[in-house]
């Protein structure tokens, strides 16, 4: 199912960012069509997600489901930040949604040279709302920490704090930033999920 929404063109890179997302991985809300309404607005036809992560009934109690979502999240943010060179900049809980799969699916991708396969996915993560997204112009990105922090707040799981402190980051005015787009950082996070 899909729906149509009109969005203001926020900056000159906005269309390029949406075009990259349109042809990207399953973890981003699908963009079926981008059409200009006028010089300041576009019309987007988007995939309809099934709900917010926080609305999955068993999310707080199903560790395998949590691990599946976290693995998808790290793979998605790595792809967004490092492969596409885009910072989402607004990964709060209302922008992390899911699509329920009728039968379990497998998603795969890469972190650096490492081929990652995530099997038996019942809920596919969907990152939405790219209104504040920007092209990364330096080696700093805070998306992964923001996303993990958001899920930690949804679940109140102390264990996720371990993931937040398991990477090379610096704190500046309350904003957590990874110091470099190093695949090893994301891979370390990914591998740490199995220790939860």
Domain with 175, as residue range(s), is: 50-195
160-191 per-position pLDDT tens digit: 555 445 444 443 333 444 445 667 778 877 88
Query: Does residue 13 lie within any of the structural domains?
Result: no
Residue 165 lies in a domain: yes
Cβ(87)–Cβ(162) below 8 Å:
no
Establish if 94 belongs to a structural domain: yes
Residue 31 lies in a domain: no
Query: Could you write out the three-class secondary structure of 50-95?
Result: CEEHHHCCCCCCCHHHHHHHHHHHHHHHHHHHHHCCEECCCCCHHH
* Residues 193 and 67: beta-carbon distance below 8 Å: yes
pLDDT tens digits, one per residue of 89-101: 888 778 889 999 9
Alpha carbons within 13 A on the beta-carbon side of 156: 2
CATH number of the domain that residue 105 is part of: 1.10.510
Whether 169 maps to a domain, the answer reads yes
For the chain, the domain total comes to: 1
Whether residue 150 is contained in a domain is answered as yes
Confidence class for position 42, pLDDT limits 50, 70, 90: very high
Residue of 176, 100, 166, 168 whose CA lies nearest to 143: 176
Task: Look up residue 70 and give its two tokens.
Answer: 């976290």
Residue length, the chain?
196
């Amino acid at each position: 199912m899909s729906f149509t929404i009109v969005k203001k063109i926020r900056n000159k890179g906005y269309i390029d960012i949406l075009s990259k997302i349109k042809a990207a991985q399953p973890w981003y809300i699908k963009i079926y069509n981008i059409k200009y309404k006028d010089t300041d607005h576009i019309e987007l036809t988007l995939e309809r997600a099934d709900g917010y992560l926080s609305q999955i009934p068993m999310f707080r109690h199903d560790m395998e489901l949590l691990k599946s979502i976290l693995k998808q999240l790290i793979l998605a943010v790595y792809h967004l930040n490092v492969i596409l060179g885009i910072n989402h900049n607004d990964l709060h809980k209302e922008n992390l949604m899911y699509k329920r799969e009728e039968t379990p699916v497998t998603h795969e991708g890469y972190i650096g040279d490492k081929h990652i396969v995530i099997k038996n996915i019942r809920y596919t993560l969907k990152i939405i709302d790219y209104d504040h997204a920007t092209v990364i112009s330096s080696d700093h990105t805070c998306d992964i920490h923001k996303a993990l922090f958001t899920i930690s707040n949804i679940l109140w799981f102390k264990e996720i704090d371990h993931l937040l402190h398991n990477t090379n980051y610096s704190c500046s005015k309350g904003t957590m930033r990874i110091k470099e787009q190093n695949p090893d950082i994301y891979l370390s996070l990914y591998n740490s999920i199995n220790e939860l």
